[in-house]
């Protein structure tokens, strides 16, 4: 399954890109699986995603919990807790 | 009561007077508002606001519509800026018009508390000594938003 991943703020800077298209291996079923799989790449990925409770995700235009399945998703955004307002 | 919902994300300044005048013209008894300003001090020279353009508007619209569903409002406005801002610049305006002051005031507090914890914006601070840092989320903001939670 091909999917677009977007990175924002601190994650974008650590990973060194704002977006990429990835092919997900079997076994990557939920948001948490996706984060684990990306973090296993090491480097900026591991650094950005190290503190799991602070990793936020959105599938399309809805926030998604770690256990949310990603089947059918076309675009997933990963970002730290928001600080607007 | 069907509220007029206005939500915008933009780089330019927010014309607070014009936005409040629009809400005042809806015929309610009161308009409440909150304006967020870039705080100076500690050598801060600028703030850069990044956002997730694909979902910012829909998240802000959801928040505004939840306010309209929860209080008897005639109008709800939520405007957030992005890009580079300087100390003293406006960052955000939320406002609500209602026949009654309590609804307008409570809806305004709800809007800013929820925007702070749910709208996909991130602030980066730039300082006079050349350093910069991402603003960390504050637990106090989560607590402020949680008081509006409808879940027990």
Q: What is the mean pLDDT of each run of 10 residues along chain B (152 residues)?
A: 92 98 95 96 95 93 96 98 98 97 97 94 97 91 83 43
Average pLDDT, chain A: 95
Closest CA to A77 of A62, A63, A57, A61: A57
Which among B55, B123, B134 has CB closest to A58? B55
B81 touching chain A per CB within 8 A = no
Structural domains present in chain B? 4-146 (3.90.1170.40)
Range of the domain at A32: 2-79
How does pLDDT run across A7-24, given as a tens digit for each residue?
A: 999 999 999 999 999 999
* 8 A C-beta contact, residue B32 and residue B47: no
pLDDT reported for residue B149:
80
pLDDT reported for residue A61:
86
Tell me the CATH number at A34. Answer: 3.10.20.30
pLDDT reported for residue B150:
64
- A41: in domain: yes
* 8 A C-beta contact, residue A37 and residue A28: yes
CA–CA dist A55, A79 (Å, integer) = 6
> Could you tell me the end-to-end alpha-carbon distance of chain B, in angstroms, rounded to an integer?
26
- A85: in domain: no
pLDDT reported for residue B147:
87
pLDDT reported for residue B152:
38
Which among B54, B58, B137 has CB closest to A83? B137
Q: What is the count of structural domains for chain A?
A: 1
* 8 A C-beta contact, residue B148 and residue B67: no
- A84: in domain: no
Residues in chain B: 152
CA–CA dist B119, B136 (Å, integer) = 15
A9 touching chain B per CB within 8 A = yes
């Amino acid at each position: 399954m091909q999917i677009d991943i977007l990175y924002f703020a601190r994650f974008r800077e650590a990973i060194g890109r704002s977006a990429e298209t990835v092919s997900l291996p079997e076994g990557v079923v939920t948001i948490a699986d996706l984060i684990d799989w990306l973090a296993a790449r090491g480097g900026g990925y591991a650094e950005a995603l190290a503190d799991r409770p602070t990793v936020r995700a959105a599938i399309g235009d809805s926030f998604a919990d770690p256990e949310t399945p990603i089947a059918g998703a076309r675009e997933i955004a990963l970002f730290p807790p928001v600080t607007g307002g | 009561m069907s509220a007029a919902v206005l939500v915008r994300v933009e780089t330019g300044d927010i014309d607070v007077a014009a936005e409040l005048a629009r809400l005042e013209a809806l015929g309610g008894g009161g308009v409440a508002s909150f304006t967020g300003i870039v705080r100076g001090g500690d050598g801060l020279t600028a703030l850069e606001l990044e956002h997730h353009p694909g979902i910012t508007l829909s998240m802000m619209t959801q928040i505004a519509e939840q306010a309209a569903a929860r209080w008897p409002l005639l109008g709800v406005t939520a405007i957030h800026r992005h890009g580079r801002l300087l100390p003293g610049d406006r960052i955000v305006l939320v406002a609500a018009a209602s026949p009654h002051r309590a609804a307008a005031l409570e809806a305004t507090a709800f809007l800013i508390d929820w925007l702070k914890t749910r709208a996909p914006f991130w602030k980066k601070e730039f300082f006079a000594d050349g350093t910069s840092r991402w603003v960390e989320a504050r637990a106090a903001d989560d607590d402020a938003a949680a008081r509006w939670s409808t879940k027990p």
